[in-house]
């Protein structure tokens, strides 16, 4: 039986856990997983709860829980755990994150349909087609950015895309694009943000002589590399490592960090508030 997942947050108050679990019990549901967090500084309560509804009440419970959460003064998002998200991958020339995501999808790691690959280069066309994925080449230059993004948005609309993954897509999406798409975009940045935002972060890290390099998966916003962070990881380096060494070590981080962030998003484990996230892992 498909389960229901609810993510909710709002002002902290006594009895919230009891009221939520009681509501599910009264409707004949069975809680499979529940987790909560309290931001003491902000006074905000966060919860993720997953339950099996009584037979035949899936749709009714989904709608009713939203009303119930509003009565509690909470903001809620409710999802069907069996629903498959339609995903587009944006790529440029680097292929490590692209292959990793597609192979994980083919192995059944994600409740999602990878429906479209969009690129500003043709380098990965044959690889995408080899996986049986639709590949669309949309060139982007300084003079054609507006028209190119319009073409990309039309592709996303045509294929009913609900999530875009920037798998080392080396173009900055405009604020207009993000607003018009209006759905989540997950980016992988090859540094431990907020350090070394922008271009050539491994070169920046080498020049600074850091002893740790990292990778950061975050939601894309109008502010470059400043969106809510979903997942990060690091690797130790020394003065003996040159830039190529950092790039090679960084690729492994990029793949695992992006894969984990995508999984958490698709499993409805990420709750965004302000420019932060609570991840119920």
When divided into structural domains, the chain yields a total of 2
- Give the domain-ending residue among 80, 107, 142: 80
Kind and range of the H or E element at 188? strand 185-189
Q: Do 75 and 120 share a domain, yes or no?
A: no
Give DSSP secondary structure letters for 120-155: SSSTTHHHHHHTT--EEE----TTTHHHHHHHHHHH
pLDDT, one tens digit per residue, over 46-91 is: 999 999 999 989 889 999 999 999 999 999 999 999 999 999 999 9
Q: Do 162 and 215 share a domain, yes or no?
A: yes
Q: Do 131 and 238 share a domain, yes or no?
A: yes
> Looking at residue 49, which CATH number applies to its domain?
3.30.70.260
Percent of the chain at pLDDT exceeding 90: 89
Q: Which residues are catalytic?
A: 225
Please give the Cα distance from 133 to 84 (Å, whole number): 17
Q: Do 213 and 241 share a domain, yes or no?
A: yes
Residue 199 pLDDT class (50, 70, 90 cuts): confident
- Give the domain-ending residue among 21, 50, 80: 80
**Nearby residues of 273 by Cβ (< 8 Å), 6 or more positions away:** 9, 44, 46
Does residue 198 carry a pLDDT above 90?
A: no
pLDDT at 192: 86
> DSSP H helical segments within the chain, as ranges?
16-26, 58-71, 96-106, 125-130, 145-158, 175-181, 201-208, 243-266
**Position of tokens 């609570």?**
278
Q: Do 200 and 240 share a domain, yes or no?
A: yes
pLDDT, one tens digit per residue, over 224-270 is: 889 999 999 999 999 999 999 999 999 999 999 999 999 999 999 99
pLDDT at 197: 84
pLDDT at 83: 92
The four Cα atoms 224, 234, 111, 158 give a dihedral, to 10 degrees, of: 20
Q: Do 69 and 189 share a domain, yes or no?
A: no
- Give the domain-ending residue among 52, 80, 108: 80
Phi and psi dihedrals of 96, rounded to 5? -65, -45
pLDDT, one tens digit per residue, over 4-17 is: 999 999 999 999 99
Interval 191-212 mean pLDDT: 89
Please give the Cα distance from 17 to 9 (Å, whole number): 12
> Looking at residue 242, which CATH number applies to its domain?
3.40.50.170
Q: Do 59 and 93 share a domain, yes or no?
A: no
pLDDT at 196: 84
- Its domain, for residue 61, covers 4-80
Two structure tokens written together for 215: 């990778």
Mean pLDDT, rounded, of the chain = 95
Q: Do 133 and 190 share a domain, yes or no?
A: yes
Altogether, the residues listed in the chain come to a count of 281
How many contiguous H segments (helices) and E segments (strands) does the chain have?
8, 13
Q: Do 198 and 74 share a domain, yes or no?
A: no
Which 8-state DSSP code applies to residue 265? H
Q: Do 114 and 240 share a domain, yes or no?
A: yes
Q: How many CB atoms lie within 10 A of CB 223?
A: 10
Q: How far is CA 8 from the centre of its chain?
A: 18
Phi and psi dihedrals of 5, rounded to 5? -120, 130
Q: Do 197 and 133 share a domain, yes or no?
A: yes
Residue 125 pLDDT class (50, 70, 90 cuts): very high
C-beta of residue 196 within 8 angstroms of C-beta of residue 209: no
Q: Do 65 and 91 share a domain, yes or no?
A: no
Give DSSP secondary structure letters for 227-255: SPEEEEEEEE--TT--HHHHHHHHHHHHH
């Amino acid at each position: 039986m498909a389960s229901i997942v609810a993510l909710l947050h709002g002002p902290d108050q006594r009895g919230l856990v009891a009221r939520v679990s009681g509501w599910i019990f009264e409707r004949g549901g069975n809680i499979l997983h529940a987790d909560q967090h309290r931001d003491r500084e902000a006074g905000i309560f966060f919860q993720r709860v997953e339950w099996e509804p009584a037979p035949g009440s899936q749709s009714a419970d989904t709608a009713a829980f939203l009303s119930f959460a509003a009565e509690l003064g909470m903001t809620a998002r409710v999802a069907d755990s069996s629903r498959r998200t339609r995903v587009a991958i944006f790529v440029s020339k680097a292929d490590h994150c692209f292959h990793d995501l597609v192979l994980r999808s083919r192995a059944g790691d994600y409740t999602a349909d990878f429906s479209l690959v969009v690129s500003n280069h043709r380098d990965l066309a044959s690889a995408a087609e080899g996986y049986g994925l639709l590949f669309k080449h949309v060139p982007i230059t300084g003079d054609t950015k507006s028209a190119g993004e319009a073409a990309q948005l039309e592709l996303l609309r045509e294929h009913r895309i609900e999530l875009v993954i920037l798998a080392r897509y080396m173009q900055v999406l405009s604020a207009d694009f993000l607003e018009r798409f209006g759905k989540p975009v997950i980016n992988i940045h090859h540094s431990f943000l907020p350090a070394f935002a922008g271009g050539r972060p491994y070169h920046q890290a080498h020049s600074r002589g850091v002893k740790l390099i990292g990778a950061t998966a975050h939601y894309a916003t109008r502010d470059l590399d400043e969106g809510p962070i979903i997942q990060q990881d690091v690797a130790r380096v020394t003065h003996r490592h040159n830039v190529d060494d950092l790039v090679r070590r960084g690729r492994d981080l990029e793949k695992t960090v992006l894969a984990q962030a995508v999984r958490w998003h698709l499993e409805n484990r990420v709750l965004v508030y302000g420019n932060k996230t609570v991840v119920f892992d």
